[in-house]
Amino acid sequence: MRRKAHTVVALGLAVGACTSTPLPQFSRPLEVVHGWPQLPEGRILGQATGVDLDSRSDVFVFHRAGREWTDEPPADTIASPTIEVFEGRSGRHLRSWGANLFLMPHGLTIDGQDNVWVTDVMLHQVLKFSPSGDLLMTVGQPRVAGTDRKHFNMPTDVAVLPDGSFYVSDGYGNARVLKFSARGDYEFEWGRSGKGEGEFDLPHAIDVGVDGRVYVADRSNARVQVFDHRGGFLAQWSGSELGRPYSVAVSDRHAVLVDGGDQPASGPDRSGGVEVDLEGRVLTRFGRFGNQDGQFRLAHDVAVGPDGSVYVVDAWGQRVQRFVRRSGR
């Protein structure tokens, strides 16, 4: 399962983790780590859209490497590396890969075997890679959008279960969640466009808790929806404190969400993150709109490490930041 968080954090994006590791008590606020990460000389990130951690707590960042969002599919794949790997604690850059593979990077998830799953919204595909970057599986037809069992329409994110089966949030063009076997065979789906229970308006991120519940960041409906493992509606989280979730990361006790701050009613200063309990009640907030350390222009995805550190990628800010618990005074 996804290792994105040991809490639920909302920032206009959703991140999650499926682990039974005991969680730290989140009684202290989060503060940004200055000087993290350390990019090679002359290297900059592009629009950073996906983040997760592997079993060593190395941080993987999916970014667009100089390409900007466009509504029209680009003709060529991105020539530069699009996945950067950093040591979680120090921020030291470890390696890069992912050149000449992607049109428009979006979500990134790492499973329990350290395989790397990504979505490309212009390829209309989900791709699974080995820890070393070898392509293992693709789902969806390249550059062909659709609504049937073999096609996506701009899929946004993946959540992987311990048995290797996985859910896909499908996403910008469709309004549904699909479940696949570990081999990539279609099993079932749910959802349609709308505002009711089990309906979506841009399902932007997805995660699964240790109890098998499925959490979907229903971005344009400004809520997180919670389902059982078959897609049965259980609950929803919404309200001004949660903003417009882009990503959600869940564990056995908490969740972390991020709000991209693009909801007109809330204003741009809502770009930031919140930690909530599994009833959706806010525990802490962190970050806000801006260009300084600890701020975001468009918080897009979130992940949480085993030590409780929170990692947020900022699409328009073109960076990733690490947050840790403030020391007791």
- Give me the DSSP letters along 139-155: ES-TT---SSTT--SSE
Dist CA 153 CA 144 (whole Å): 8
The arrangement of secondary structure in 8-22+35-269+285-320, i.e. its CATH architecture, is 6 Propeller (2.120)
pLDDT in tens, 161-178: 999 999 999 989 999 999
Residue 329 has pLDDT above 90, yes or no: no
Residue 136 has pLDDT above 70, yes or no: yes
Could you tell me the two tokens for 20?
């039974």
In our burial notation (b when 16+ CB lie closer than 10 A, e otherwise), range 193-209 reads eeeeebbbebbbbbbbb
CB 261 within 8 A of CB 271: yes
CA proximity to 270, closest of 296, 292, 293, 248: 296
Higher pLDDT residue, 17 or 145? Answer: 145
- In the predicted model, what is the mean pLDDT of the chain? 89
Q: Does 40 sit behind a cis peptide bond, omega within 30 degrees of 0 on the bond before it?
A: no
Dist CA 59 CA 208 (whole Å): 20
Q: Where are the domains of the chain?
A: 8-22+35-269+285-320
Beta bridge partners of 108: 118
Q: Measured at the alpha carbon of residue 15, what is the angle toward residues 260 and 279, in degrees to the nearest 5?
A: 95
pLDDT of residue 261: 73
Dist CA 99 CA 81 (whole Å): 4
Q: Measured at the alpha carbon of residue 101, what is the angle toward residues 99 and 104, in degrees to the nearest 5?
A: 100
Dist CA 100 CA 74 (whole Å): 13
**Which range among 13-22, 127-136, 242-251 shows the weakest confidence by mean pLDDT?**
13-22
Please compute the mean of the pLDDT values over residues 240-252 and round it to a whole number. Answer: 90
What's the predicted TM-score (pTM) here? 0.91
pLDDT in tens, 265-306: 444 456 899 999 999 999 999 999 999 999 999 999 999 888
CA proximity to 310, closest of 65, 20, 149, 88: 88
Per-residue pLDDT band for 91 (boundaries 50, 70, 90) equals very high
